[in-house]
Structure 1
């Protein structure tokens, strides 16, 4: 798995990264053995970048990832987590956390906190769960509705943590491009993580975020390259951005799949390779729950794709002509 510098402080990341929301029991439970097997498969495939957050399963994702990484040499992997949601224990836990998307007992409540103190407390708790004394990258997690506090309190706190050496790189992670572009232009962040906005179906990151990142030398990690399922397996009941996919997008994805199939290429392979083709993108996060999912993603990322795929997608009006695509493999 090819590795590249990430951010201006240059920690090394693998081009494919393991997104650990799934092993935090996103939507449905994942057993301990199954979660560990997914991580083992990722490591075996050469993946050395791992992304998590307190939000994922109320800390379950961080605990599972930390247990796995403790047996690996610290200098051989890139670890990122997030701040912005502080976990507070419930006095009388009742029910589950499915209202927030995770099949775990509701042992804690999340509280938005982008204060300087909240950032430090969140990171300290994350490092305890992960079993590490430093984190390679810390992102402000979904500060969309808290931008003033994120910019005036949370960001300076991350700058201080970076200066103290507890954090290698700092950044922000969101589903929306405009606030990320604001961070790129108005702060000295190293990286951004954008989910679902640079895919075969949605290239809105090209309007502002990716040009700004290129201009300012900020690295971009792209998540959600399958748009939560539609680009992995297009069909009428597929999901797009975690809800039922609109008919027009299902039809568009099916047309893309037809083009790829003519050239013997799975659509999911084109989806991964497309996102990696932009020069500002240093890595693509794959949210895997099983060993099979992450092994397949690694194989698709390495699969040769004929240049004719991109030519035909453009000719069919399925990709704009100005968008960067990978160099043809044959």
Structure 2
């Protein structure tokens, strides 16, 4: 699988990246054997970029990813995790973490912290959970409500860690493009992780973020290409950004699917291939919870998409004329 460097540095990422939120028991439990099989299948398929975060299952995702990757030579893969949420033990707590989306015991509570000290504490805790000696990419995780602290305190802390070689590349990851555009313009981040805002249904990132990133040589990793489900299987009740899809969105997704079917291409393949048309995009991050999902994602990522399909989407008003595409 092809690898390219992030930003102006040396950290390499594969075209397809393993998003490990599901391995933190996102919404439903994933067994230990199933999680391990997913990670091993990804490795065998050539995926060498793995993304996790403390938020995912209160550290469970980090522990599972670390356990699998510790069996591999450290220079043979790229690992990213995130800062901004510290995990504090809650020894007397009962119940689960489903209110935050994860089917795990509520053993910890999340504390927002984008201070410099919070960044250092988060990196240290992540290294312990991962059981690894370094992190390749550190993202500021969802600083939507903390822009000043993230820019003024957390970012400089990450910049120092990069200069010291503690992390290889730094960036920010969010479900919106406006603040990520500020990071690209006002800082020296290597990469931004844009989730759900550059898809076949939502090209918000195309207005400012992606052109600015291309101009400055900042890499973009695109996540959420299925918009949490609607672009994987458009049907009544399907999820769009983790909520039931509104009828107009469902109808639009079905129209896109019909175009794909006329060209003999699964909708999932078109959704995965679309972001690579933009020169700033270096990798597409797909959440996977089983070996079967990994095999499907790899097959879809490798599926050619004819230019005629993109042309028809444009002609039908389903894709902006200015959105770059690839085969």
What TM-score comes out, normalization by structure 2 length?
A: 0.99
Shift of 1:41: 1.1
Kindly state the Cα deviation for residue 54 of structure 1 after the two structures are TM-superposed.
0.2
Matched, 1:70 2:70: yes
Q: What corresponds to 2:324 in structure 1? A: 324
Most deviating of 221-230 and 2-11? 2-11
Q: Separation in 1 of the partners of 2:108 and 2:254?
A: 41
Deviation of 1:125 (Å): 0.4
Q: Which runs of 5 or more structure 2 residues have no equivalent in the other structure?
A: none
Aligned counterpart, 2:169? 169
Q: State the shift of 1:138 in Å.
A: 0.1
SS at match of 1:312: helix
**Offset from partner CA, 1:139-187 (integer Å, 9 cap, x none):** 0000010011111110110011111111000000000100000000001
1:198 partner SS: coil
Match of 1:233 in 2: 233
SS of the residue corresponding to residue 270 of structure 1 reads helix
Match of 2:186 in 1: 186
CA deviations over 1:88-126 (Å, ceiling 9, x no partner): 001302100000000000000000000111000000000
1:28 paired to 2:28: yes
Aligned pairs for 1:142-157 within 5 A: 142-157=142-157
Cα offsets for 1:301-324 (capped at 9, x unmatched): 101222111111111111111110
* Distance across 2 between alignment mates of 1:146 and 1:212: 22
Q: How does 1:268-283 map to 2 (within 5 A)?
A: 268-283=268-283
Deviation at 1:85, TM superposition (A): 0.2
Question: Partner residue of 1:61?
Answer: 61
- Cα deviation for residue 8 of structure 1 reads 1.9
* Corresponding residue for residue 247 of structure 2: 247
Q: Which whole-Å CA distance do the structure 2 matches of 1:60 and 1:34 have between them?
A: 14
The equivalent residue for 1:107 is 107
Task: Give how far 1:276 is off.
Answer: 1.6
CA distance in 1, matches of 2:136, 2:88: 25
Aligned length: 327
Residue 203 of structure 2 is matched in structure 1 by: 203
More displaced, 179-188 or 4-13? 4-13
Name the counterpart of 2:51. 51
- Look up the match of 1:224: 224
Instruction: State whether structure 2 residue 307 is matched by structure 1 residue 307.
Output: yes
TM-score between the two structures when normalised by the length of structure 1: 0.98
Deviation (angstroms), 1:7: 2.0
Unaligned residue ranges in structure 1 (runs of 5+): none
Q: Which residue of 2 aligns with 1:117?
A: 117
In 2: Cα distance, 1:306 partner to 1:139 partner = 34
Runs of 4+ in 1 over 4 A off after TM superposition: none
Q: CA deviation at 1:45?
A: 1.1
- Give the structure 1 partner of residue 96 of structure 2: 96
User: Which residue does 2:293 correspond to in 1?
Assistant: 293
In the other structure, the counterpart of 1:131 is 131
Question: Residue 140 of structure 2 aligns with which residue?
Answer: 140
Please state how far the C-alpha of 1:10 moved relative to its aligned partner: 2.4
